[in-house]
């Protein structure tokens, strides 16, 4: 399972904006609570996509210079078009 404390610790230790993925059930709930309680200055976005496929698409998009919004759109587009 996932731990709210572990997720919060990671979010509070990041040095940049983040795109977060989750799998099922309590992991989404713990991520939601951690994002809600996050007090840092970086942007934290939750994306509803398969972890492996979504994070791969986001990583490729970001590595090619896309913004966080464009990377999230790339993930959303891939999910909508059933590429994954």
Q: What is the pLDDT of residue 25?
A: 83
Q: What is the pLDDT of residue 73?
A: 98
Q: 47 φ, ψ to 5°?
A: -120, 130
Q: What is the pLDDT of residue 83?
A: 62
How many separate domains does the chain show?
A: 2
* 30 and 56 within one domain: no
**Which residues in the chain land under pLDDT 70?**
1, 83-84
* 29 and 59 within one domain: no
Number of other residues whose CB lies within 10 A of the CB of residue 8: 18
* 40 and 66 within one domain: no
* 59 and 39 within one domain: no
Domain extent, residue 12, equals 1-46
Q: What is the pLDDT of residue 30?
A: 96
* 54 and 33 within one domain: no
* 40 and 65 within one domain: no
Full-model pTM: 0.85
């Amino acid at each position: 399972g996932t731990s709210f404390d572990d997720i919060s610790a990671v979010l509070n230790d990041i040095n940049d904006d983040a795109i977060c993925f989750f799998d099922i059930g309590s992991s989404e709930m713990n991520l939601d609570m951690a994002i809600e309680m996050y007090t840092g200055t970086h942007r934290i976005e939750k994306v509803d996509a398969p972890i492996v496929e979504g994070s791969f698409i986001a990583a490729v998009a970001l590595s090619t210079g896309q913004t966080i919004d464009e990377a999230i759109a790339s993930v959303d587009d891939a999910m909508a078009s059933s590429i994954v």
